[in-house]
């Protein structure tokens, strides 16, 4: 039997109380065994990140999920600050920085634009995967494995039942990762993890 994985969801959403989508996504995974959720803007409203605590959290989990809205083709500012401080040389990278080696990372993002908008035909020159390249490169530098992202598109236009469906899908993805029932190679084959597991 495959041992269950421990997952930490690091939510970076500066206006979570106004969120239509991310709140539903989090509610959908509440109570799943082995999953810890951390609302980073609640923990660090002043941006004074406890680096050692965050590093300990990462070391205690097998899979790290960075969940956030895709602001201006990137992440909210606290996530950038967190990456800059927590993934420090000698801990996450460098010849002696092997604390996170072998762990797995996934981005879980929400976008206002539809999936079709992230193609050359629709005017955006880069796909979601291309826009997430800095994140993927960071993960690789830290000797971790990067999964295809979980993406919820068109958030401004989604109806309530569509948002609930996105939550159900997120729950299924997280449960699959906890259970470790899919071969690692199979998880890498799609553009989005939504396409692979759902």
pLDDT in tens, 77-131: 999 999 999 999 999 999 999 999 999 999 999 999 888 888 766 666 889 999 9
CA angle, corner 89, sides to 84 and 93, nearest 5? Answer: 100
Give the model's pLDDT for residue 49.
98
Return the percent helix, strand and coil in the chain, to nearest 5: 40, 15, 40
Q: Which residues contact 101 (CB under 8 A, 6 or more apart)?
A: 142, 143, 144
Q: Which domain holds residue 182?
A: 7-197
Would residue 137 count as lying in a domain?
A: yes
Name the domain count of the chain.
Answer: 1
Structure tokens given for 28:
């959908």
CATH (domain of 141): 3.40.50.360
DSSP state of 3: P
Residue 2 within any structural domain of the chain: no
Residues 29-59 have pLDDT tens digits of 999 999 999 999 999 999 999 999 999 999 9
């Amino acid at each position: 039997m495959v041992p269950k994985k421990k997952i930490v969801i690091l939510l970076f959403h500066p206006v979570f109380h106004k969120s239509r989508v991310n709140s539903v996504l989090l509610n959908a995974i509440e109570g799943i065994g082995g999953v810890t959720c951390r609302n980073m803007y609640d923990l660090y409203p002043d941006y004074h990140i406890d680096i050692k605590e965050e590093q300990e959290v990462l070391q205690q989990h097998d899979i790290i999920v960075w969940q956030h809205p895709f602001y201006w083709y990137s992440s909210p500012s606290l996530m950038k600050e967190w990456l800059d401080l927590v993934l420090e040389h000698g801990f996450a990278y460098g010849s002696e920085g092997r604390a996170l080696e072998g762990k797995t990372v996934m981005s879980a993002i929400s976008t206002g634009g539809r999936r079709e908008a992230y193609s050359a035909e629709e005017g955006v020159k880069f796909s979601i995967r291309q826009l997430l390249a800095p994140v993927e490169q960071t993960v690789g530098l830290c000797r971790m494995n990067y999964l295809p992202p979980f993406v919820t598109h068109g958030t401004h236009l989604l109806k309530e039942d569509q948002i609930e469906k996105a939550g159900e899908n997120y729950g299924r993805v997280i449960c699959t990762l906890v259970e470790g029932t899919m071969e690692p190679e199979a998880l890498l084959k799609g553009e989005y993890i939504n396409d692979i597991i759902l």
